Structure 1
């Protein structure tokens, strides 16, 4: 099987030291380690449960896509991991990649409790456009563009990552005839046409995802925070989008133009969405206005992030309470028609209210036990919550959860195989993940 033509020598377990678990996603878990010979940190994305022909093929495909798309704005791949030799899993495999010390745009928004300062916002969206334009120039589509897949290095520069859903497009100029197999990606970033089972992805898929990504960075929020898959699947094809009217377009020069770009990217009609050549030209114009301010705000943000690890002032969601020159938090906007952001009686357009209540591990575990029947019925982000638990979920259990057809069945397996026997610490970790992905549900149930 062709793999990384000029990097065929595998990187083995014995060549790495100081392993640390970072997180989990897709079909792999990610670790940080130091390469003994190179002397710097690398990231290792390992398959969840050993090697099979299909997993190995997917692994090779992702690594080759990453190498083919290699540029300043795409995560660098160093080679294939193999190991641990002579240990319990002799056939374990993975991808060895560049390690991004800050995390992702998603974690940055969470740590800051909102969007970054505008000059950094404009650099991030421009760098993503540059990376996506390069990807498309290599006849590749990403298909999973979202904040967690835009990683940040120590200087807060952005690089595209997670090519597990990447597909080869048929033509560099074709928009409607590209055959790329089944659709993928996170449903809140998927275009309306992708909810059709017969849909075959084209590059317009990525343009739509970029529009939702822009909204998320501009506001510091997750789109449709309380909407499950079925509701998004229903409302997005009917024209619902996040409430862009809440963005104060006068707060920064050029923001109005980028909000207009955002709206064009998520247009209901795929052919009306701009390609990434257009996107990068428009983001370049705005970024050039604010370029001289970037170094100042990057230092400011890094100082704020550093302070969060050494003290103190955090709210219940982990958002920093350190003063920061950021865009103002969005105000409610009654004229926006955004049914996805509604509950039975209130609008979801405003920020989730923040409680000052702090719960002990025992209280969190009791919450999980007491609310088991309702949680099984209403939780939709089961895989995201499972991935948050990391090594607390056994590989076999993870695969079993992943194989279940419905969210209800998935969460039942998680309860039966992990939460029931895991003790209070596991249940408390589950509670924290639940609170992150279903904050209003936890609040409604008294958490």
Structure 2
């Protein structure tokens, strides 16, 4: 497996403040990686997409990891499937149809929903449903409630509203209304291209200055994210 020198996206979001161009680029790359998995025949479902399973290379490009660890088996009960997800700490990324009476097995819309939560996490650099119990999260999601858009930083550029629109489309309560990753690749690329300007990722202001590390934002052509 290729060594990913900058660890997980989860850790980066907690330790550094990302400039908006980099946030948009990362969102686009996540869509690209998931589109690759879903374009296989048959589609490879991740079912475990979250920021701790998104790794970063030397230039802070993303790669999707840990796909295929959670499986839906024919005849599996929803309860057993939920137990798999909960044990792995995925509760915030699970779409509402997973814990309803819907008899259908998870499909590509499952991963699309999870990507919407990942998008929110990248844009806000906060944890979804922070401080909420598992029961509370399940109740919120079943009622159509999602992480608050009000938590978006005040410094957000006007283009962020377009990305928020894509995000909301991804986490739609109705799985039939969610887009395919082939759609989000195109849409996130269009928004990301607007802000392709050089900048820096700066450590959070409350970090000790001696501990700060600034990475140049290299806007080289975005590569196709493939399984590692």
**TM-score, L = length of structure 2:** 0.78
Matches within 5 A, 1:17-416: 97-112=1-16, 115-138=17-40, 139-165=43-69, 167=71, 182=81, 184-185=84-85, 186-196=90-100, 200-247=105-152, 251-291=156-196, 293=197, 296-297=198-199, 300-301=200-201, 304=203, 312-313=208-209
| Alpha-carbon contact 1:265-1:273 (below 8 Å) kept | yes
Name the count of aligned residue pairs.
Answer: 202
Q: Which has the higher contact order (CA 8 A, sep 6+)?
A: 2
Distance 2:162 2:154 in 1: 9
How far is the alpha carbon of 1:121 from its aligned partner?
0.3
CA distance in 2, matches of 1:159, 1:322: 22
Asked if structure 2 preserves the Cα contact closer than 8 Å seen for 1:249 and 1:256, the reply is no
How far the C-alpha of 1:279 sits from its partner, in A, is: 0.5
Q: What's the offset of the Cα at 1:166? A: 5.0
Secondary structure of 1:108's counterpart equals helix
Equivalent pair of 1:208/1:266 in contact (CA under 8 Å): yes
Does the Cα contact within 8 Å between 1:132 and 1:276 map onto a contact in 2?
A: yes
Cα RMSD, aligned residues only: 3.0
| Residue aligned with 2:127, SS | coil
Alpha-carbon distance in 2 for matches of 1:217, 1:237: 23
Unaligned runs of 5+ in 2: 216-228
8 Å Cα contact 1:189-1:212 kept in structure 2: yes
- CA apart distance, 1:191: 0.5
SS at match of 2:195: helix
Larger radius of gyration: 1
More strand by share: 1
The C-alpha deviation readout for 1:305-358, integer Å capped at 9, x for no partner, is 9xx9xx9349xxxxx78899xxxxxxxxxxxxxxxxxxxxxxxxxxxxxxxxxx
Name stretches of at least 5 consecutive residues in structure 1 with no aligned partner. Answer: 1-96, 170-178, 315-319, 325-447
Contact 2:28 2:185 in 1 (8 A): yes
**TM-aligned CA distance change 1:164 to 1:141, over 3 Å:** closer
Shift of 1:254: 2.2
Deviations 1:185-236 (A, max 9, x none): 4010100111237552111111110111111100000011111212212221
Structure 1 ranges of 4+ moved more than 6 A = 320-324
Aligned equivalents of 2:187, 2:154: Cα separation in 1: 16
